[in-house]
Amino acid sequence: MMNAPLKYVTKELFMGVIWAFLILLLIFAPGLWAEAVDFVYANF
Amino acid sequence: MSILTTGFGKAGRAWTWFTREFLKVTLLRVAFVALILIATSSWIKVRTQTYFSAMTMPPSFRHVDVIHREAFLLEYLRAHNLDENTVVVFGDCVTFGHGVKRSYTDYLEIPGKRVVNVSMQSFQVNLMSVALDYAIKQGVTDFIVQLHPFENYPAEQGSWTSITRSNPTNSGTDPESDLDYLKQSRVNWRVQSVAQNPKLYQIGLFEVRKPWIEFSQYLRYDFLSKLKIFATRYAFDDWSGLDKTYYSYRTFRRDNFKKQLPTERQISIIEKKPAFWRYFIVKDKEEFVKLANYASVPKRLATILNDKGLKGVFIMVPTFTKVMAEYSDLSVKDMQTSAEIYGNIVRAENQKYINLLEDPELTAHMYHYDNLTIEGQKLMGKKLSGMLAEEFK
């Protein structure tokens, strides 16, 4: 299978992607919430 | 952690993973996160640039949430790479096109210059000042400003002087309000957009969006929109052979033809109100001239351009005055007077003034207040190209 360093880098990359996703989610949360509210008021 | 994880089976193992693996800060992980965030923001930047540079006029400001207008405007300006060879056009509905996809600025050819349309759609001096400040910083020296003859004397008085602080359209016109107005134009706009946005309120540094809409607002905008009461207005575009418009049938404007009360009636109503309301009435032409010279859009912009040694051409847009007179309480003479007064103000500040009010060729192509069909826009572009060929050299 994978050797140890490659396994380590892959794991860190995987964690990095999740971290970045959560950070972006945190940054865009107010905007996404606002869009959601707009969408609800515009369509329902 | 052991006390938390002991005896909880799978959940305990997840908690162990979360604390020991996921929350572990390693150099490589931080590097990957930084790399991903940089890549993402660069991509967003490129995407925004592509989006705004494809536009030949800014987005429909009247339909953009107030709090986002400044950001959109600056993104639009950045995407258009302003420099010393750019002529920036400020204006409202005529420059915006209103109903047609391309306005006269697309047909305006000035030798050695690139034309960038910064129409506000609705005339918003504060926002315009933000754009002016940015353009000057980018080295732009040449400006075209589109003007309107509109508004009757009481309305002028109301919007220009007494209510200036709360009116987002004209609040920047008072020349004594601050010393270096342009420098703090962004702050001014920011404060105002929060103040006037019914969906927002401010807590300290934070702008908070209300998750509800007032009932009256819902009734006026959302409910009436659903009934499509005003939707027929832009069916006009279809009949006139325009296949694409900036106004889809969903984004029609709400300020349509409305028969106003005669001026005398308006004044008599105001006179019944408490005494301070009389301050809103302008008595005669002399007082109007005085006010316009003290605080008005042309005065403010012409003064700034003159003070900074920049070149401005102010254009009074064509208007079919007779139809306006029929559908509002404005008289033809009011509009002519207004155009004449603005001309004097602008010329006094060493700026060029072109009066196209009642231009017979252009008014033949009008269909709403001051809005031109696509043929009219083409003609206006061509006409101005000839007039301005020697102007910006």
**pLDDT tens per residue, range B278-325:** 665 566 677 778 777 877 788 888 999 999 999 999 999 898 888 877
C-alpha dist (Å) from residue B274 to B104, B140, B155, B159, B271: 46, 48, 18, 19, 8
In a domain, B327, yes or no: yes
Closest Cβ opposite residue A17 in set B22, B28, B36:
B36
8 A C-beta contact, residue B182 and residue B129: yes
A24: which chain B residues are within 8 Å (Cβ-Cβ)? 37, 40
In a domain, B195, yes or no: no
Of B27, B33, B8, the C-alpha closest to B18 is B8
Do B271 and B344 lie in one domain? The reply is yes
A14 touches chain B (CB under 8 A): no
Q: Which helix (H) or strand (E) holds B61?
A: none
Q: What is the pLDDT of residue B275?
A: 72
The mean-pLDDT minimum among B126-130, B190-194, B355-359 falls in: B190-194
Over residues B227-239, the mean pLDDT reads 40
Amino acid at the residue B70: E
- Give the best residue of A8, A12, A32 to mutate against chain B (max B CB count within 10 A): A12
Do B50 and B6 lie in one domain? The reply is yes
Q: Which domain holds residue B267?
A: 56-190+259-388
Helix B185-196 to helix B125-137 angle (10° resolution) is: 150
In a domain, B367, yes or no: yes
Do B79 and B117 lie in one domain? The reply is yes
A25 touches chain B (CB under 8 A): no
A40 touches chain B (CB under 8 A): no
Nearest CA in chain A to B38: A20
8 A C-beta contact, residue B94 and residue B371: yes
In a domain, B373, yes or no: yes
Do B377 and B276 lie in one domain? The reply is yes
Q: Are the Cβ atoms of A15 and B213 closer than 8 angstroms?
A: no
In a domain, B228, yes or no: no
The mean-pLDDT minimum among A16-20, B151-155, B221-225, B346-350 falls in: B151-155
C-alpha dist (Å) from residue B209 to A24, B70, B170, B193, B220: 20, 17, 25, 13, 20
How many interchain CB pairs under 8 A, A with B?
Answer: 42
Do B32 and B181 lie in one domain? The reply is no
Q: Are the Cβ atoms of A20 and B37 closer than 8 angstroms?
A: yes
The ipTM, to two decimals, is 0.88
Domain end, chosen from B18, B33, B54, is at: B54
**CATH code for the domain in which residue B299 is found:** 3.40.50.1110
- Name the token pair of B254: 């709400």
Q: Give the pTM.
A: 0.72
Do B20 and B76 lie in one domain? The reply is no
pLDDT band at A42 (very low <50, low <70, confident <90, very high): confident
Do B35 and B146 lie in one domain? The reply is no
The residue among B276 and B386 whose pLDDT is bigger is B386
Over residues B197-224, the mean pLDDT reads 54
Over residues B334-351, the mean pLDDT reads 90
In a domain, B132, yes or no: yes
Do B266 and B298 lie in one domain? The reply is yes
Domain end, chosen from B28, B54, B80, is at: B54
A28 touches chain B (CB under 8 A): no
Q: What is the pLDDT of residue B176?
A: 58
Q: What is the mean pLDDT of chain B?
A: 74
- Give the best residue of A9, A10, A13, A27 to mutate against chain B (max B CB count within 10 A): A13
B29: which chain A residues are within 8 Å (Cβ-Cβ)? 12, 15-16, 19
In a domain, B142, yes or no: yes
B31: which chain A residues are within 8 Å (Cβ-Cβ)? 16
Do B115 and B30 lie in one domain? The reply is no
Of B386, B324, B371, B377, the C-alpha closest to B151 is B324
In a domain, B182, yes or no: yes
Nearest CA in chain B to A25: B37
Do B86 and B29 lie in one domain? The reply is no
Do B362 and B324 lie in one domain? The reply is yes
**What's the CA gap between B133 and A25, in Å, rounded?**
33
Domain end, chosen from B54, B72, B88, is at: B54
**Count of domains in chain B?**
2
B22: which chain A residues are within 8 Å (Cβ-Cβ)? 15, 18
Q: Are strands B206-209 and B366-368 parallel, antiparallel or unpaired?
A: unpaired
Nearest CA in chain B to A17: B33
Do B9 and B156 lie in one domain? The reply is no
